[in-house]
Amino acid sequence: MKRVAVIGGGIGGLTAAGMLARKGHQVTLFEATDALGGKAGTLRVDGLVFDTGPTVMTMPDTVRATFADLGAEDLMPRLERLPLQTHYRYADGREFLCWEDLDRAAESAAALHPADGDGLRSFFADAQKVYRAAGQPYLDAPYETMMGFMARAARNGLGTLVTGLKLSTLDALGRKHFESQHLQQFVNRFATYAGASPYEANAAFAMIAHIERAFGVHHAIGGLGGIVEGLVAAVKRCGVEVVLGQKATHEKRGSSFVVAEREFDAVVVNADPLALQHRAGDPLTMSGYVAMFDVPKRLSLPHHTILFSSDYRKEFAELSAGRLADELTVHVCHPAATDPTMAPEGRSGLYVMVNVPPIQPADEWKTNARVLEAQVRSRLGAMIPELLGVPLRLVAERTPVDLEKKGAPRGSIYGYLPHGKFGPFKRPAMRGEPGVFFAGGGTHPGGGVPLVMLSGRFAAGMTDAHLGGRP
């Protein structure tokens, strides 16, 4: 039995801690705040339930496998698959319904342009190829060297490998398949899953579109916070010692590490690695402003709605320049559409998010938050008819200042900005100095509940191998 410290109790840290305990190690998890879960959490206000972090979940098999490997299948909340994955609304009043069923989605696409029904089919076919060329080998194992990644990619055939090497930008891929700007905008949106601009990000991010269609978009009944609650119960059941309210760092002393005046044989850091890897000057992904509203009626709005700005390129140019966008793209999550437990009868809770630059001086956010709240209210009323004239009560909000308090560098949601052809391969490494490993959305493979779980699983495997376990 070896002693392992896990610093940080987000989903990646919880997963790593539980996995290491299941491998027989003595694990202590240190969390600086008084709550576990990192950016993922739950807020309950007057009968309403809000997820305060991620609201979209894909790759359910990764989540199920994690709970199963922790011996905690009974602690995992029920997942509900969404037939209508996202309803896209455009500034000119048109819309696109992205159904999981490809025939229904293609019919909606064809209503925007006659050629775009077939364009949607060809786009998803390309997205599947991208997943095989870049996604599977990227997600199959910890990324440590390009050579190792290329070897995994080559297993799918040299043609697949060539496909990956030829990829341009996500925006170029969208323009290849679609005539209408509406559907091009739909493709470009997938870059925001990594906090990036579609005009600078690799087309490899199209694999997210394939993952959503192939594996589904899901909601955890009771909210994604239930995933955190289940993980917390699981790691405690596995024997992990949890220490809350302890801001911890690690220091190498001889062959051991000292964390909070205790000795350990290895350390897993569930925090953004940029500063610890001397990369604090690297470019950062976008941040976000979130407003949570109490609506005094049960809306017919679907679970996920995107209200696109009229000029996506201008919006990203402004964000990249460090300014608030003049016109916002708004993500609206209405969980009561799927899960009545999220809101009392006759009411709805709306989680509304917009992209903003990484943090500016904290004092500016007192003004910025009010500007953004006003813009969001205006967009909701203008683009969702059933909200016109309905009083929305703001019950909570989150700004980059809040994200920075959770450990996000300057409030950046995902840390390192993966722009450029090889951007995703330049994320901070999972392996630090000998005996130190990283987990979380800031390292491989990236952000989002299942990917952060994967990083925790990878970190646990690498740590166990370092301590003499099987690689």
pLDDT in tens, 337-353: 999 999 999 999 999 99
pLDDT at 152: 86
Q: Looking at the structure, tell me whether residues 259 and 111 fall in a common domain.
A: no
Mean pLDDT of 41-58: 93
| Domain contains 187 | yes
pLDDT in tens, 139-172: 999 999 888 888 888 887 766 656 666 789 999 9
pLDDT at 151: 86
pLDDT at 161: 57
What percent of the chain is modeled with pLDDT above 70? 97
Q: Looking at the structure, tell me whether residues 100 and 9 fall in a common domain.
A: no
pLDDT band at 78 (very low <50, low <70, confident <90, very high): very high
pLDDT of 43 above 80:
yes
pLDDT band at 407 (very low <50, low <70, confident <90, very high): confident
Asked if 295 contacts 348 with a C-beta cutoff of 8 angstroms, the reply is yes
If we measure between CA atoms, which residue out of 6, 39, 36 comes closest to residue 21? 6
pLDDT at 426: 92
Q: Indicate which CATH number applies to the domain containing 258.
A: 3.50.50.60
Q: Looking at the structure, tell me whether residues 399 and 429 fall in a common domain.
A: no
pLDDT band at 385 (very low <50, low <70, confident <90, very high): very high
Q: Looking at the structure, tell me whether residues 236 and 351 fall in a common domain.
A: no
pLDDT of 267 above 90:
yes
Residues 6+ positions from 466 with CB-CB distance below 8 Å: 266, 434, 435, 437
Mean pLDDT of 95-112: 98
| Domain contains 471 | no
| Domain contains 125 | yes
Query: Which residue type, as a one-letter code, is found at position 283?
Result: P
Last residue of a domain, one of 410, 440, 455: 410
Q: Which helix (H) or strand (E) holds 332?
A: strand 330-333
Q: Which helix (H) or strand (E) holds 259?
A: strand 256-259
Q: Looking at the structure, tell me whether residues 298 and 183 fall in a common domain.
A: no
Q: Looking at the structure, tell me whether residues 93 and 183 fall in a common domain.
A: yes
Last residue of a domain, one of 170, 194, 216: 216
pLDDT of 402 above 80:
yes
Residues 6+ positions from 260 with CB-CB distance below 8 Å: 5, 30, 243, 246, 248
| Domain contains 62 | yes
pLDDT at 133: 86
User: Would you call 368 helix, strand, or coil by DSSP?
Assistant: helix
| Domain contains 38 | yes
Question: 161: domain range?
Answer: 83-216
* Residue-level length of the chain: 471
pLDDT at 71: 97
Mean pLDDT of the chain: 94
Q: Looking at the structure, tell me whether residues 425 and 401 fall in a common domain.
A: no
Encoding tokens for residue 40? 């993922």
pLDDT in tens, 292-338: 999 999 999 999 999 999 999 999 999 999 999 999 999 999 999 99
Cα angle 382, 305, 375; round to 5 = 40
pTM, entire model: 0.94
Q: Looking at the structure, tell me whether residues 132 and 241 fall in a common domain.
A: no
Overall number of domains in the chain: 3
Q: Looking at the structure, tell me whether residues 191 and 97 fall in a common domain.
A: yes
Asked if 30 contacts 5 with a C-beta cutoff of 8 angstroms, the reply is yes
pLDDT band at 362 (very low <50, low <70, confident <90, very high): low
| Domain contains 196 | yes
Q: Looking at the structure, tell me whether residues 91 and 200 fall in a common domain.
A: yes
Last residue of a domain, one of 160, 195, 216: 216
Q: Looking at the structure, tell me whether residues 269 and 170 fall in a common domain.
A: no
Region at 240 (left for phi over 0; alpha for psi -120 to 50; beta for the rest): beta
pLDDT at 428: 95
Q: Looking at the structure, tell me whether residues 151 and 190 fall in a common domain.
A: yes
If we measure between CA atoms, which residue out of 279, 328, 219 comes closest to residue 426? 279
Residue 151 phi, psi dihedral angles, 5° rounding: -65, -40
- CA 322 to CA 340: how far, in whole Å? 39
- CA 438 to CA 436: how far, in whole Å? 7
